[in-house]
Structure 1
Amino acid sequence: MPNIKSAIKRVRTNETKNAQNSHVRSTMRSAVKKADTALLNKDENAGDSVKAAIKQVEKAASKGLIHKNTAARRKSRLMKKQA
């Protein structure tokens, strides 16, 4: 545990940001997996799950959790599977 006041605050803010980033990243991964399984099983609501997954991928990219090219690649792969 740090002794300096600013370092103590930095530890607190890092924990908060880490929790927020983990939540967004986990939600994105879950949405992508759900879309993949929906497309694999040819579900009737696969289009909606793909839309939700793309939204989560774009959200993660806008927050800087994943690179914008990584987001584009993931969205492209989802759309390719959908077609």
Structure 2
Amino acid sequence: MANTPQSKKRARQIERVTAVNKARRSRIRTYLRKVEEALASGDATAAAEALKSAQPELMRGVTKGVVHKNTASRKISRLASRVKALATA
């Protein structure tokens, strides 16, 4: 347990930041799930729209420090290629 006033304050701050990051991560996952569901349904236009709305959300997670830059880029790239494959098929 934290003993010094500084460590007690840091513990309080970490709690708040953790809650915010958890909400951000959850929001990002929701957007990604919408893309996955659109892909699973086979609707190319819905998948493209879902991806278009998920991209800024993922990159916002990068700027906020919730997701690593390469992770977000990789996810966007893989989803984009799947959406493109669905559109051409």
For 1:49, the aligned partner's letter is A
Q: Alpha-carbon deviation of 1:57?
A: 1.0
Cross-structure match for 1:64: 65
Q: Which moved more, 1:51-60 or 1:7-16?
A: 51-60
Give the SS at the match of 1:27. helix
Distance 2:81 2:48 in 1: 12
What's the TM-score, normalizing by structure 1? 0.88
* Cα RMSD after superposing both structures: 1.3
Give distance in 1, aligned partners of 2:75 and 2:16: 27
Question: Matched residues, percent identical?
Answer: 35
Residue matched to 2:87: none
More helix per residue: 1 or 2?
2
Which segments of structure 1 move beyond 4 Å, counting only runs of 4 or more? Answer: none
What is aligned with 1:24?
Answer: 24
TM normalised by structure 2 equals 0.83
SS in 2 for 1:59: helix
Aligned to 1:53: 54
The number of equivalent residue pairs is: 83
Three-state SS of the structure 2 residue aligned to 1:45 is helix
- Please list, as runs of the form range in 1=range in 2, the aligned pairs for 1:26-41 lying within 5 A after superposition: 26-41=26-41
Equivalent AA in structure 1 for residue 71 of structure 2: T
Q: Give ranges in structure 1 of 5+ residues lacking alignment.
A: none
Residue in 1 that maps onto 2:9: 9
CA-CA distance at 1:15 after TM superposition: 0.3
| Structure 2 CA distance for aligned equivalents of residues 28 and 10 of structure 1 | 26
Deviation at 1:45, TM superposition (A): 2.6
CA distance in 1, matches of 2:2, 2:83: 51
